[in-house]
Each structure stands twice: as C-alpha cells, then as structure tokens.
Amino acid sequence: MNLLPKSTADFGSTEYWNSFFRKRGKQAFEWYGEYPELCTQLHQYIKPKDEILVVGCGNSKLSMDLYDVGFKKITNIDISPVVIKQMQEANRLNRPEMTWKQMDATAMTFPNETFSVVLDKGTLDALFTDESPTVVTMVRNYFAEIGRVLRPAGRYVCISLLQEHILREVVSHFPAAHFMLRIVRCPEAGKGRGTEDAPNADGSSLVVFAIVATKLKNMPLRVLEVGLAGSHIERVQRPEEIIAAVAATQKAAMVCNGLARGSIAGMAEVSLDLFSPTDKERPRYTIHVLDQAPKRGNGKYAAFIVPQGRETEWLFATPAGRRKLQESAKFDRLAIVTLHRGHVYTDLEAVKAELAESVKSLAPQQVLQGASIPYLSIGAEVGRRETIHTGRSELSGEYVVEEIAGENGRLFRRLVFLSNQAVVQSEAALKMARVRGSRAPQKVIDAGYLACQHHLFMTVGVQLAANMDATGSCPIAVVGLGGGGLCTFIRECLKKTTITAVEIDPEVEQIAVKYFGLTLDARLRVVIADGIQFLADEATRGAHYSALLFDVDSKDASVGMSCPPAAFLEREVLANVRKLTGDRGLFVLNLVCRNETLRDTTVEGLKRAYRYVLSYQLEEDVNEIFYCTDNERLKEVTNWQELLRTAADDVNKLARKEKLTLEQELVDLSDFITALKI
C-alpha cells in the first residue's frame, strides 16, 4: 500500500490528506518521530501551564502523549474534517479537556493572542511544497496567523526537515517580525525504524530539526541561534550562518544514509571531519570509512582509533595504507579515526564514548540496532602529543613543533606546518643523555636517527663523492634544510665534509637550531636564499662542490611531482648544477614523482646535463635517488656498483664508529647494489 505522496504538491491538498487518513484508519503515521524521540526538545520549550495550539494535528499521537504527561490545555486543528472526527471519537472519554477543531491554519478564527505555544509537526513542510507565488503567499499567511494568535513571549515550535527554501523563508520572516529565532536538531527523531511502509524503511535516517521562534514586542537587534550538536547553543550574526550549518548537517546525514544502505567496496573511501561544538575551525576527529568485499571469517564493522602522533605514518595517512590496515583487521567495513592536534583527549575510553554516536551512524545496515561495535587500536593508550612551540613563518604560515610517543614509548619531535597537517615536514628522535651542567639526564636529539630513509642513500652519494675527491676535503651543498636531519647526520658521520645548507625560510633555520639540534660551526653553515638563485650566484663566482644535493619539496600539489619543484629541473638550473660539480663531482637528486611521463622527462633532462646517471628506487617509499656525474671513473656500470658498494660500506662502518647506530648495516649492501638502475 503506497501511503506516501506521489508528488510534493500532494502534501498540501485537502483531498490528499482525506485520502491519506481514510487509508490509514486509526494507525498513526509518525512522520518526524514520536513523543519519546521529541520529548527532550518539546519539554525544553513547552511547559504544562502553556495553552497549546497544535496545527495540522492529523491523527498523530503527539497531542495525546503530551496530554498524558500533564499538558492539559491543548487545542488541535486540522484541515481534514475526517481526521478531526476520528480524533474526537478516539479521545472523548480518556482526554476530555483536549479539543479538536476543523480549521485552516492559514485563516484561523481564534482571537488575537490566544495561545502561548503553537506546535507544528510537519505542517509547515506539508504546506511549503515549492516556491511558486501561490504557495509562498499561503505560507506567509500561515506565519502571519501564527504571529497573530501567539501571546507576547509565546513560542512557535515547529518540527521540520528544513528544506533549503523553507529555512530561507523562516530566517527571513521571523527575525523581521520581532521573533527570536533558534534552530536545534532533534537527534532522536527521524531515525529509521524499519517498518514496512516507513519512508526510511532501509534503516537510514531523516534529519529532523525544531524551529523555535519566540515572539517579542520589541527587538532592536535580531537574535539568531543554532544548536546542532548536543546541548550547545551558538549565537550567530547572519542568517547565512544558520543556513550553512543546517546544510552541513544534512549533507553529513546523506553520507551516513548512503553508507547505511550499501557498500562502497571497490570505490574510494569516505572521509568526514568531526568538530567540537565549541571549535568549528579545527576538526577534532577525522574518520575514514572503507569497505571491502565480504569474506568468510570477517567481522561486519569495527572502528580503529589511531593513537595521537601516529596519524602521519603510511599505514594511517594514505589510502593504500588504510586499505592494508583493513585487510589485516579482517572487517568488511572499517572506520579509521585520527585525532587532531590542538585538542585534549583524556584516555581511550573517553574517546570511545565521545565517538560512539558518530561511529554508530556509519554502520552498515546489517549491524543490528543496539549491537556492540568493536573498537580497535594499538595498545590501550590514546597516545601522547605535547606542543613544544608554535609560531608563524612569513613564507609557510603557522607551524607547530610537537613531541609524540611512538612505538615502544620512543619520543619523537616533529615540525608540522598547519597548512598541510597530514605531512610531517621534519622529524627527529629524542634520547635521554647527560648534558654538561645538568645533574639529571636531559632530552637531546638523536643525531643517528634518519626519519626519511632516502636521506641514508643521499649520504651514500656524499661518501661516494668524498672517496672520489683526491684533495681530501669534501665541500657539499644541500638545497633544502628542513629540520636539518640530513645535514646533521652527514656532519656527524662523514667528518671530511664541510656543508653549506641552503634554506629559503629564515624561520626554518631558527627552528632547526633551537628544536632539532642543528649545530652551526666551521663545518656546517646555512645560507638563507632562494635555492635557484643561490645556484646561479655560486656558478657565477666559480664555486665548486664535491657533491650537490637536492632535498627540497614542492608546495604545488597540482602536479604529479612533489619533490623537487619543477623549476629546479629546468635546463638552465641543471646547467648551473653541472658547473658547480664540475667534471668529477656528484649531483644527488631526491625525486618524488607519481607521473611516469613527468619522470621520463626528468630523466631526459638529467641525461642532457650529465653523461652518467644512475638511480635507486626505495622499496617502501616513492622516493627515487638519482646519482649524476661526468666523472670518467663512473663510466661503466660495474664501476658504479663497485664504488657505491664501497661508499655504502663506509657509511655503515662510520655510523657505527661515531656511535650513530648499533646496527651492523644501515644500508643492506646486496639489496642496494642489486636495485641500482641505469
């Protein structure tokens, strides 16, 4: 039996509603939730002493439930004489004080200022079917009648789905008519109950709101308020802010409804940001929802909470990593939750409690109502993140230096620019050591820790250059300082080197020195300059470097190459690099390029600048290290392999000698040499 309107125009017709109620008989159809789902909002804005007018009452049980809990002064009106007769007969004996009248809500016959509350559940939505002049005029008459029959300080309480055209009329009319306006969400209303003929029988939910418009005699300033998250009410300045907030809530519900109805296996993951009601600028949580094809033995649904500080790891920070996590977790649907910096999280149980409703709303339909949803994590802690310093760079914007606890409780210090919070710009490991002048061990930077594996293979390139430099000295230039991890490691490991680091941002140099242990002395200096201009100036003055390294990232996410910026690979720039390295020096490039065509173009450019080019693709990263030279000693592949093996072995031995590592091999010689490509 089809009891839903075939078109929106049916909502407002007397004929439709007469037919509707004849078909249903005595079975109430609760469009927007019943009293138990709405009582929190109703009791907040309606009191037992109020004289209440229920407009468009239909055969809803709402009036009866209100009466039964102590609201005795209720008058009900409806355009349909059929339903009024039904309700009079049904309530004559048990609810004698409640009255029922057949009346058009747009042309009521009550005296002015008769009621302290006008209650509307779905009637406004039924009337306001479109934006045609006839309908808009009818709705404005309805609003005028509400204003007329309400007493001063009386409330119009309307339960509505708030389609955009309805909301725009509401925020336009009521403040102009001297009403204080508040829009709140009714979180328990509209949830799918799975009944055969319910509009949301698939278990999805409608988003139901309560309009609360309070009539005032004089209101010099309009008062607009919105409450869409719990009990928090926010005062806003402009109607557009209410419209945007409601639209965001509705869009989020649409996503949840889609996830309830079907699987997104084989499609891209769905990501949502969750905000605290008191902080709409910074998300508190991000949830990534992934589906995979059902497998025997898999669970239906679980949530995985990523400990603070670990959200930038490959397993949690990338779609491919999260897919891997889901496969190992063995759930058909997995909601992966990351926690954002700038917020306080007391413990894992508190996080679970805070997330409970949101996680439940993302469950597939197969998860039974009320079923327990498993929460997974790494360990039993929510993780630790401590902000050490915040600041602002003129070039890169706001940043934060923070310390986080990684696996096994090891501490790391990180630099993150807030414009790209998913990327750690620099990372250093911390260790406890005795510092001159202090009695107790202090946290110091572990110079032997390389956060980026590609730095190790760039260091091998520097050692190769040092081995080929007959002068015994090894001046090198590193374009791109960051936190200085690469420069510090080279300085401590390869004692023959003197290092010039080039950094465009003076703030980054200060961060590296103050928070990441960068030591400036005769062997290591920093030049604040544009990298390309530095190369041109150095080439002009006839400078020479045994090795020149590019480890600079691109801020342009629109191209398929994130390191280096494309401008650094232009012909004239590479020509300057070639001048600086001369016939015997080495150019070492860290390339991060996901576009094969762009990579091929880059390789062609390198081969135009240098006769001998070799590359090493890291196994677990997208980084590819290119070694480029005109040194005749590297003309043959076998010479490349022999000399790089020697350089890598030297790095392994020197790192142990300088107590930078306890490992026998930082570089796996066999794997490294085997993976080298011309």
pLDDT in tens, 82-100: 999 999 999 999 999 999 9
Residues 323-335, mean pLDDT to the nearest whole number = 94
- Kindly report the three-state secondary structure assignment for every residue of 54-106: EECCCCCCHHHHHHHCCCCCEEEEECCHHHHHHHHHHHCCCCCCCEEEECCCC
Which helix (H) or strand (E) is 405 found in, with range? strand 397-405
Put the strands of the sheet holding 99-102 in their side by side order: 99-102, 74-78, 52-55, 115-121, 150-160, 209-215, 179-185, 224-229, 232-236
Given a cut of 70, whether residue 391 has pLDDT beyond it is: yes
Question: Across residues 115-142, what is the average pLDDT?
Answer: 94
Residue 541 exposed, middle or buried by CB count within 10 Å (0-12, 13-18, 19+): exposed
Homologous superfamily (CATH) for 8-256: Vaccinia Virus protein VP39 (3.40.50.150)
The arithmetic mean of pLDDT across residues 562-566, rounded, is: 89
Report the pLDDT averaged over residues 124-151.
95
Phi, psi of 500 (to 5 degrees): -110, 115
Binning pLDDT at 50, 70 and 90, where does residue 562 land?
confident
| Residue matched to tokens 């809500």 | 105
| Per-chain mean pLDDT for the chain | 88
Angle at which helices 637-657 and 453-468 cross, to 10°: 110
Distances (CA, A) of 444 to 434, 436, 447, 494: 9, 12, 9, 21
User: Would you say residue 639 has pLDDT above 70?
Assistant: yes
Tokens of 473: 């000295």
Q: What is the pLDDT of residue 62?
A: 94
Give me the pLDDT at residue 5, please. 42
The β-bridge partners of 617 are: 624
Give the pLDDT confidence score for residue 545 in this predicted structure.
Answer: 96
279 or 76, greater pLDDT: 76
The predicted pLDDT at position 558 comes to 62
Residues 642-670 have pLDDT tens digits of 999 999 999 999 999 999 998 888 988 98
| Continuous H helices in 307-445 | 314-317, 319-329, 348-361
- Cβ proximity of 515 and 388 under 8 Å: yes
**pLDDT confidence band for 211 (50 / 70 / 90):** very high
Q: Which of 402, 404, 451 is nearest to 310 (CA)?
A: 404
Would the pLDDT of 496 be above 80? yes
Amino acid 559: pLDDT: 65
- Determine the Cα–Cα distance for residues 502 and 482; give it in Å rounded to an integer: 10
Using a pLDDT cut of 90, give the percent of the chain over it.
62
Is the predicted pLDDT of residue 256 greater than 90, yes or no?
A: no
Partner residues linked to 433 by β-bridges: 442
Provide the H-helix boundaries in 162-309. 164-176, 239-261
Write down the pLDDT at residue 197: 38
3 state DSSP class of 61: coil
Over residues 37-58, mean pLDDT:
95
Using 50, 70 and 90 to split pLDDT, how confident is the model at 508? very high
pLDDT at 254 over 90: no
* 388 and 402 Cβ atoms separated by less than 8 Å: yes
**pLDDT by residue (tens digit) across 1-37?**
233 344 445 555 566 546 654 665 544 345 578 899 9
The answer to whether the CB of 233 falls within 8 A of the CB of 227 is yes
Q: Which pair of tokens denotes residue 657?
A: 């000698």
> How far is the CA of 477 from the CAs of 9, 503, 526, in angstroms?
74, 11, 10
Check residue 25 and give its pLDDT: 52
Rounded to whole angstroms, the Cα distance separating 642 from 233 reads 71
Instruction: Name the residue ranges covered by the structural domains of the chain.
Output: 8-256, 262-377, 387-445, 453-677
CATH H-level, domain 453-677: superfamily: Vaccinia Virus protein VP39 (3.40.50.150)
- Decide: 513 and 490 in contact? Cβ < 8 Å: no
Residue 193's pLDDT is 42
Q: 262-377 sits in which CATH class?
A: alpha beta
- The length of the chain in residues reads 678
* Closest by CA position to 635, among listed 652, 659, 610: 610
pLDDT at 556 over 80: no
Topology match between the domains 8-256 and 453-677: yes
Q: What percent of the chain has pLDDT over 70?
A: 92
Q: Could you tell me if 442 and 433 are in contact, meaning their C-beta atoms sit under 8 angstroms apart?
A: yes
Average pLDDT over every residue of 105-124: 96
Q: Which has more confidence, 558 or 211? A: 211
For residue 181, the model assigns a pLDDT of: 97
- pLDDT at residue 204, rounded to an integer: 45
pLDDT of the residue at 143: 98
Cis omega before residue 152 (within 30°)? Answer: no
Res 203: pLDDT: 43
Q: Give the confidence band of 229 by pLDDT, cuts at 50, 70, 90.
A: confident
Q: Of 116, 158, 508, 193, which Cα lies nearest the Cα of 370?
A: 193
The 3-state secondary structure of 523-544, one letter per residue = CEEEEECCHHHHHHHHHHCCCC
For 10, the token pair is 């049916």
